[in-house]
Chain A
Amino acid sequence: MKHIITLTLFFLAVIQLSAQNTVKSDTLIEAQPGELIEGFYLLNIDGMYFAPQDFPDAKGFIIIFTCNHCPYSQAYESRIIELDKKYSPKGFPVIAINPNDPKLVPDDSYEKMKERADENGYPFPYLLDTDGKYAKSLGAAKTPHVFVTTINERGLKVEYVGAIDDNSENALAAKKKYVESAVDALIANKPVILPKTKAIGCSIKYSKK
Chain B
Amino acid sequence: MSNKLFLLLVSVLLYVHFPFNLKAQDVKILKFDALKSTLETSGSRLKVVNFWATWCRPCVEEMPAFLKFHEIYKDKVDLILVALDYPSTIEKKVFPFLKSKGISQKVIVLDETDPNDWIDKISPNWSGAIPATLIVDKSGRFIQFYENSFTLEELEKTLTPFLK
Contacts and interface: CB of A to CB of B under 8 A. Distances in A.
Main secondary structure of the interface of A (DSSP, over half): loop
B114 A203 contact: no
B128 A23 contact: no
Nearest to A142: B129
A162 B144 contact: no
Contacts of B58: 203, 205
Interface string B46-57: 000000010110
A21 B127 CA distance: 14
Contacts of B41: none
Nearest to B88: A169
B13 to A, nearest CB: 39
Contacts of B126: 22, 198
A169 B147 contact: no
A198 B158 CA distance: 27
Contacts of B2: none
A114 to B, nearest CB: 22
Interface stretch (A24-32, A42-50, A89-97, A180-188): A24-32
Contacts of A7: none
Contacts of A30: 127
B116 A22 contact: no
Nearest to A194: B116
Contacts of A200: 53, 84, 115, 119, 128-130
Nearest to B158: A23
Given A141-B127, A176-B114, A23 B55 contact: no
A162 B120 CA distance: 13
B73 interface: no
B26 to A, nearest CB: 23
Interface residues of A, number: 32
A198 B128 contact: yes
Interface string A184-209: 00000000000001111111110000
B85 to A, nearest CB: 9
Given A71-B55, A166-B113, A203-B129, A198 B145 contact: no
A109 interface: no
Contacts of B53: 200
A173 interface: yes
Given A20-B144, A25-B148, A142 B127 contact: yes
22 contacts: A19-B143, A20-B123, A20-B143, A21-B143, A22-B126, A22-B146, A23-B144, A23-B145, A24-B125, A25-B147, A145-B127, A168-B113, A169-B86, A169-B88, A169-B113, A176-B114, A197-B116, A199-B115, A199-B116, A200-B119, A202-B130, A203-B129
What 7 pairs across the A-B complex have the smallest Cβ distances?
A141-B127, A25-B148, A166-B114, A203-B129, A142-B129, A22-B125, A197-B116
Given A141-B147, A145-B127, A169-B86, 12 more contacts: A20-B145, A21-B145, A23-B146, A24-B146, A25-B148, A71-B55, A163-B128, A178-B116, A198-B115, A200-B119, A201-B129, A203-B58
Interface of A: 19-25, 28, 30, 71, 141-142, 145, 162-163, 166-170, 173, 176, 178, 197-205
